[in-house]
């Protein structure tokens, strides 16, 4: 995907359900992601500003350079996750 590809949440979930996992550069700002398995997803460079994430599995996810300013996270799970600053979470960790 090219940087800052706008996508509505229904299309995102449809592609996710079809097995797609490369959503680099996608714009999901303001979306609600609740009880979603995003393990193995590539969201590098994505726009997740003011996104609500509840009980989201981000194990083995690539979040490099994700903009999640203003995002709210409750029960997000990180393990082997690359964070926006490039840090790798190597121990199981829940946030929120």
In tens, the pLDDT along 32-65 reads 999 999 999 999 999 999 999 999 999 999 999 9
Beta bridge partners of 95: 76
1 — pLDDT class (breaks 50, 70, 90)? very low
pLDDT at 4: 62
Range(s) of the domain holding residue 31: 5-95
Nearest to 28, CA basis, from 65, 67, 60: 67
Number of domains in the chain: 1
pLDDT of 23 > 50? The answer is yes
Total-model pTM: 0.90
80 — pLDDT class (breaks 50, 70, 90)? very high
pLDDT of 3 > 60? The answer is no
Q: How many whole angstroms separate alpha carbon 46 and alpha carbon 50?
A: 12
Q: How many whole angstroms separate alpha carbon 49 and alpha carbon 61?
A: 17
Domain of 36, CATH number, reads 2.160.20.80
Q: How many whole angstroms separate alpha carbon 40 and alpha carbon 24?
A: 12
């Amino acid at each position: 995907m090219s940087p800052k590809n706008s996508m509505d949440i229904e299309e995102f979930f449809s592609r996710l359900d079809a097995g797609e996992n490369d959503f680099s550069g996608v714009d999901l700002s303001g979306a609600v992601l609740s009880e979603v398995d995003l393990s193995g997803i590539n969201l590098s460079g994505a726009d997740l500003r003011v996104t609500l994430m509840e009980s989201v599995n981000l194990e083995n996810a690539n979040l490099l350079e994700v903009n999640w300013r203003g995002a709210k996270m409750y029960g997000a799970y990180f393990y082997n996750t690359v964070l926006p600053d490039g840090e790798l979470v190597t121990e199981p960790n829940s946030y929120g």
